[in-house]
Amino acid sequence: MKKLLLSAAFSVAAVCSINAQDVQLTLHPNQAETVIPKEIYGQFAEHLGRCIYGGIWVGKDSNIPNVEGYRKDVFEALKALEVPVMRWPGGCFADEYHWMDGIGPQSQRPRMVNTNWGGTVEDNSFGTHEFLNLCEMLGCEPYISGNVGSGTVEEMAKWVEYMNSDTNSTMAELRRKNGREKPWNVKYFGVGNESWGCGGNMKIEYYVNLYKRYNTYARNYGSNRLFRIASGANAGDTHWMDVAMRECRNNMDGISVHFYAVRDWGTEDDPVTGIPMGKKGSALNYTDQQYYEVVSKSLEIEDIIRKHCAVMDKYDPKKRVAIMFDEWGTWYNVEPGTNPGWLYQQNTMRDAVIAASSLDIFHKYTDRVKMANIAQVVNVLQSMILTNEKNPSDPCVLTPTYHIFRMYNAHKEGKFVPGELTCEKIRVNDREQVPVVSQSASVKDGVITLSLSNLDVAKTHTVAVSIDGLKKANILSAEILTAKDVHAYNDFGHANDVQPQAFKDYKAKKDGTLTVTIPAHSVITLQVK
């Protein structure tokens, strides 16, 4: 039965009054073949707002506890998250970044104005060494975005040499002079970022020739082989993908796609400064209707993947070239009183549900989608971690989205388990519907990890789970991320309002099925054997 939300004023009581059918899920672990790459859980760190400075990096001389200049609590939170890959230095910043400004003694590095993001003065104290050493300490792969928009072929070629050459070349010797003997052997390398927009406002017919030129001189050194990533489409721009695949498929290993869940609800001003904040709505204050509209928008990512896969399959039926969703997530108005160019937004249970259902979608298409990097890791957009601008020494805060990524860790490098989900859908408007439940399952070492999200803002749903070949479900672990109010969030002074808890509302039946009861706007993960 479908539920119709007539307006923003549609009441919770009205939603709850509708008698919905239970959800049915059948899983086929014997059909699991495609491995879910750990890189699906990638992060993105741009020189934007307080992501780098005050987020990741405070400097070795800071009175804030740090590890070699990296903010200690943020570093430990990222270490615990088991980040597999991190993209840097942008984003739009990448195509105005000149890497030689960020090497050598920090006191001698030139300053620049970050024209993309708030006109902030960039002192370049966080550069190539600081980023690559961080990745090494975290045990994650670095993903470098090279400058095509305002850089030169020579500049990009020398950067790759500086990072990866173990010879006695000028660039390798310069790296050694700056304190790093061995190369970092960077694998993932992007040739430009959003070349259709802030990376140069190019047409794809122009970019493909630039890509091939720049990519030619990004050399491999020693046994290290670059995984070469082209600047790809803005959301569903299949024309960009078509030309890129036709012209460059033999010269690239991956191509990026960017997608943000953004809705337009009209202009509003910051109540403190009076500055127009945009049309994206509040991260904290939203109606049920607005909740569903943003969730619905986030689910469009599946249709975008399907359309791009269809184009890519024409030119690359063996699926050699990967889709890299290296920017994705929610995007709202900035928090009142903060710099509009810094994109600082809060993070509620709505974002947790969107993160979970988005990861569920990525899992389904990992024959083509090999990486995803949520935007961004600290203090920007749908971040994992928040630090306090007014009181920087306050402990960092872990967002609901952080907890989703941690809860989903068990899916990494498991085999995706196909299945059939039958559930009702909530009618958002004349064109859009939202399923009440999203799910994903994987199997590794004989253990099935099952994640279930209740996208219904107001109603509990019970899921009947049948797993082929399983006579009785033995639950090894189960946890839930939930809150009484969908607007719940973590902040300074109440850092643990939303955090995972043990989950017990499940029952293994004698017929081999498992029933799981999920509260409204909640996410659970169970491990079954």
Is 300 in the same domain as 399? Answer: yes
* Residues facing residue 502 across a β-bridge: 479
Question: What local confidence, expressed as pLDDT, does residue 19 receive?
Answer: 37
CATH code of the domain containing 104: 3.20.20.80
Place of tokens 């109603």: 459
Q: Which DSSP helix (H) or strand (E) runs through 404?
A: helix 400-407
Burial 457-476 (b: 16+ CB within 10 A, else e): bbbebbbebbbeebeebebe
Residues 370, 510, single domain; the answer is no
- Is residue 188 located within the same domain as residue 273? yes
pTM score: 0.92
Of the three residues 395, 413, 431, the one that is the final residue of a domain is 413
pLDDT of 250 reads 96
How far apart are the C-alpha atoms of 414 and 429, rounded to whole Å? 37
Residues 321, 325: Cα–Cα separation, whole Å: 13
Are residues 469 and 513 both part of a single domain?
Answer: yes
d(CA 84, CA 322): 17
For residue 269, what pLDDT is reported?
Answer: 56
CA distance 261 to 295: 8
- The 3-state secondary structure of 256-285 reads EEEEEECCCCCCEECCCCCCEEECCCCCCC
CB of 357 closer than 8 Å to CB of 453: yes
Looking at the structure of the chain, the number of domains it has is 2
pLDDT value at residue 267? 62
What tokens appear for 244 in the block? 């890129």
- Are 386 and 427 within one domain? no
Q: What is the pLDDT of residue 15?
A: 36
Q: Give the residue from 351, 378, 413 where a domain finishes.
A: 413
pLDDT for 21 equals 47
Peptide bond into 376 cis (omega under 30): yes
The domain of 217 spans 38-413
Residues 463 and 405 in one domain: no
Q: What is the CATH number of the domain that holds 502?
A: 2.60.40.1180
What is the per-residue pLDDT for 508? 86
In this prediction, residue 473 carries a pLDDT of 83
Same domain (yes/no): 26, 56: no
Last residue of a domain, one of 382, 413, 444: 413
Q: Are residues 111 and 239 in the same domain?
A: yes
- 78 shares a domain with 20: no
- Catalytic status, residue 327: yes
Nearest to 3 by CA among 387, 352, 340, 435: 435
Is there a single domain that holds both residue 153 and residue 140? yes
Here the tokens at position 112 are 């620049």
Q: Which residue, among 398, 396, 401, has the nearest Cα to 382 in the 3D structure?
A: 401
Rounded to the nearest 10 degrees, how much is the dihedral formed by the CA atoms of 221, 222, 223, 224? -30
Residue-wise DSSP of 105-169: -GGGPPPEEETTTTTEEE---S-HHHHHHHHHHHT-EEEEEE--SS--HHHHHHHHHHHH--SS-
| Catalytic entry in 194, 247, 293, 389 | 194
Q: Are 294 and 359 part of one and the same domain?
A: yes
Catalytic residue among 141, 327, 335, 424: 327
pLDDT tens per residue across all 529 residues of the chain: 344 443 333 333 333 333 344 899 999 999 999 999 999 999 999 999 999 999 999 999 999 999 999 999 999 999 999 999 999 999 999 999 999 999 999 999 999 999 889 889 999 999 999 999 999 999 999 999 999 999 999 999 999 999 999 999 999 999 999 999 999 999 999 999 999 999 999 999 999 999 999 999 999 999 999 999 999 999 999 999 999 999 999 999 999 999 999 987 666 554 444 444 468 899 999 999 999 999 999 999 999 999 999 999 999 999 999 999 999 999 999 999 999 999 999 999 999 999 999 999 999 999 999 999 999 999 999 999 999 999 999 999 999 999 999 999 999 999 999 999 999 999 999 999 999 999 999 999 999 999 999 999 999 999 999 999 888 888 999 999 999 999 999 999 999 999 999 999 999 887 778 999 999 999 999 999 8
What pLDDT shows up at residue 41?
98
Co-location of 116 and 143 in the same domain: yes
